[in-house]
Structure 1
Amino acid sequence: MSIQLLQQELVAYAHEIGIDKIGFTTAASFPDLKTRLYTQQKLGFASGFEESDIELRTTPIKLLPNATSIIAIAVAYPSKMKERVVGKKGARRGIFCRASWGIDYHTALRERLAKLEVWLKEKVPEVDILSMVDTGALVDRAVAERAGIGWSGKNCSIITHEFGSYVYLGELVTNIPFVPDEPIEEACGDCTLCLDVCPTGALVNPGQLDAQRCIAFLTQTKGVMPMEFRKHIGNRLYGCDTCQTVCPKNKGKVNWMHEEFTPDPELAKPLLEPLLHMTNREFKDKFGHVSGSWRGKKPIQRNALIALANFKEESAVPAIIDVLHNDPRPEIRATAAYALGEIPNDKVALQNALLKEQEDMVLHEIKLALGEEL
């Protein structure tokens, strides 16, 4: 079978198994990306979640020595819920970003890539393959851009004409010399909406992100949230969609195509107060299948406290006091102290906690909440 025919049949099969876009590029290195990554590293803009070895991230043959091609895939996910729930006073809700709606996309894409691997091995038994989704060494967006999946937007997302930027990405490195696709021409034009509305100014330039200021990153950290970002968190529990929701290229892109990504509103926008005392088992049982659970319950509970503070939700004060006095984790107690300082109450609980608390970070937040430390 010729390479061209194999490629045509592979594209057809990919669509059969729920892959919405597929593209091909060479396994050549990514020199421009390498320069940008070293710059990001030098500026301190990296998140720390990425592969630390930039050579591995930009040189496919370091991952598969006989690689000649990379197959890029994209699977669309929904931007709207079919059923909505609305929070209200006394029953405030947080929100997970759209990329955490439905089943964990790592699972969904790995299943699709595994099917592509099986198909290719049946057609070409001697094939070598290495597949990855998000947590692999290669930069998914760079591969997708070069393979013609979409263009790299000013918000650092891959934007497709068909589905906007609401797509999950993955790739498969192989020694089969497929015919590369042409990259798509950048179509952001003069628009700078994503840069203009980024709550923390994390988009420092078109296509340049300071991850340390990005709300999507900040919601995944486990320590005490820096003070300057707390108001900007709003009611976000995991991730941030602002730079996507304002993008004109996403207008009308609903993407209700894959049942596995259909969100359960009670999981996508859960009640905040019940999260505060959720056990590890309860958290895993309820949220373990969504991508937003990967860092465990601590960041989610911390963010829930900040959200209740931003709502100034007085009905949650007793639950927050219980967290301040009884939670074993100092980061969570510190955030509870902050929340009590933001929500109208008599501050007696803060004063009592001040007498028994021994952790400096918690004492600092208690004093701030009481107005004793500036």
Structure 2
Amino acid sequence: MYHTLKKEIIKASQEIGIDKIGFTTAEPFDHLKESLYEQKENLHTTGFEHPNIEERIYPDLIFQEPKSIISIALAYPSRLSQRPEKIRGEKRGKFAKASWGIDYHDILRDRMDKLIDFIKEATDNNPDISFKPMVDTGELIDVAVAQRAGIGFIGKNGLLITEEFGSYVYLGEIVTNIPFEADNPKVNQCGECTKCVDYCPTSALLGDGRMNGKRCLSYQTQTKGMMPEEFRPKIRTVIYGCDICQEVCPFNQGQNNHFHQEMEIDPEIIQPLLKPMLTISNKEFKQTFGILAGSWRGKKPLQRNAIIALANARDKTAVPNLLRCLEEDPRPVIRGTAAWALSILAKGNEAVLSFLEESLVKETDEEATTEIEKAITSLKKG
């Protein structure tokens, strides 16, 4: 019975808009236990992960009598269909590819809900059959489930790499009490290649599929406080996420899949003008960026990153905008980051130096004060 049902599910998944599907058991992921605890002890975790390690390893802690896990993958684009308009004298920021289009959590939930509806109908709405769908905010580790379900293998960058779509895939899984036959796990195919490790600008990748998450630029762009100075030049003009370890991966060369309308997006949104970002209202932010996965932390981190991007782009036309941030913005993070950017863009500008000195007298926040003091010192050195 379940062998036939599995075939029907695979066929239905293609009609629903799922690009790849695999099945695995609900056995524990024991092989991850030592590594997960080691990562936590080494302070390599970010806090974005599910906090209970045992629940990440043992499906029976989060679901009553689990028998199988269905893993799904949806391919996303890696290149824009069209580029945003070039505007003389204006610099643009970038959102990482995984944040293009409607929030992938919503897209995956839609596909999984439709798949669950199909299975319920195919089993005559058997009340004894149950499901637990989840995306990367759930307990289980998406890449571990997908690898064991035969969707792809886990690369040295820790991402799931598929034969058909490279690592440009969103992953989700459904735990169920239906005992499906498991597919064969995929083995690592990276071989001697270390491009992702070599090109990571912060040495976040450990080379064995794990990373020091706090050194990952994607994490750094999502934090809410002051970004450590070490990482600021390294984000370049990216205001959310990081694609470097994917872009250099040989399995991703030539990949660009436009299969899902929800993943198509106005290029003006994912490559926004930077200076308008600094004063965007809450309403405008929600209307413009609210559909993106990259908006989940709110506008402050993105505004902070936009200031850093303006400095990295050496956009001296942004100096008046940054002075306004320093004088008028109520948030210390924005004032402090603006001061740092001014130290780069206003070398030799005595008027800016005087402005910073006046701002220092009025500043009450400790971190912002430190940034202003360092900016003053830098400008005095010339």
Q: Which residue, 305, 323, 340 being the options, matches 1:321? A: 323
CA distance in 2, matches of 1:335, 1:232: 15
Q: Deviations over 1:320-362 (max 9, x none)?
A: 1111111111111110111111102432321221121111111
Which residue does 2:251 correspond to in 1?
A: 249
CA offsets 1:216-246 (integer angstroms, 9 cap, x no match):
0000000000011111011111000000000
2:5 corresponds to which residue?
6
Q: Equivalent residue for 2:214?
A: 212
Match of 1:139 in 2: 141
Render the CA deviation track for 1:166-202: whole Å, top value 9, x for unaligned.
0000000000000000012211111000000001010
**1:1-374 to 2 correspondences below 5 Å:** 2-85=1-84, 90-124=89-123, 125=126, 126-344=128-346, 345-346=349-350, 347=352, 348-371=354-377
Q: 2 CA distance for matches of 1:327 and 1:34?
A: 45
Cα shift readout 1:56-97 (whole Å, capped 9, x = no counterpart): 111111111211000000000000001013767620010000
Choose 23-32 or 309-318, whichever is displaced more.
309-318
What is the one-letter code of the residue matched to 2:370? H
In 1, the alpha carbon distance for the partners of 2:67 and 2:295 equals: 36
Query: Could you tell me which amino acid in structure 2 is paired with residue 321 of structure 1?
Result: L
SS in structure 2 at match of 1:73 = strand
Any conservation in 1 of the 2:94–2:240 contact (CA below 8 Å)? yes
Decide whether the 8 Å contact of 1:47 with 1:217 is kept in 2. yes
Q: What is the identity, as a one-letter code, of the residue corresponding to 1:350? A: L
Contact 2:29 2:58 in 1 (8 A): yes
Q: 1: CA distance between counterparts of 2:238 and 2:190?
A: 27
Q: Structure 2: state its 5+ residue gaps.
A: none
Q: Which deviates more from structure 2 when the two are superposed, residues 359-368 or residues 161-170?
A: 359-368
For residue 105 of structure 1, report the CA deviation from its aligned partner: 0.4
Percent sequence identity over matched residues?
50
Q: Normalization by structure 1: what TM-score?
A: 0.97
CA distance in 2, matches of 1:146, 1:341: 50
For 2:196 and 2:25, the matched residues in 1 are separated by 31
Residue identity matched to 1:357:
E
Q: In the aligned structure 2, how far is the partner of 1:31 from the partner of 1:185? A: 17
Q: Secondary structure at the match of 1:335?
A: helix
Given that 1:330 and 1:362 are in contact with CA atoms closer than 8 Å, whether structure 2 keeps it comes out as yes
CA RMSD across the alignment: 1.4
Most deviating of 352-361 and 169-178: 352-361
Tell me if structure 1 keeps the 8 A contact 2:194–2:207: no
CA distance in 2, matches of 1:43, 1:33: 15
- Please give the alpha-carbon distance, in whole angstroms, between the structure 2 residues aligned to 1:362 and 1:26: 52
Q: How many residues align?
A: 373
Q: Secondary structure at the match of 1:191?
A: coil
User: What is the one-letter code of the residue matched to 1:337?
Assistant: A
Query: Counterpart amino acid of 2:295?
Result: S
Structure 1 unmatched ranges of 5 or more: none
Tell me, yes or no, if the aligned pair for 1:86 and 1:93 is still in contact at 8 Å. Answer: no
Contact 2:73 2:169 in 1 (8 A): yes
Q: Post-superposition shift, 1:54?
A: 0.3
Alignment partner of 1:188: what SS? coil
Contact 1:87-1:93 within 8 A present in 2 as well: no
- Measured in 2, the distance between the counterparts of 1:284 and 1:328 equals 20
Instruction: Give the TM-score normalised by the residue count of structure 2.
Output: 0.95
- Whichever residue aligns with residue 364 of structure 2, its letter is Q
Whole-angstrom CA distance in 1 between matches of 2:204 and 2:319 = 32
Task: Give the AA of the match of 1:62.
Answer: L
Q: In 1, distance between residues paired with 2:46 and 2:364? A: 31
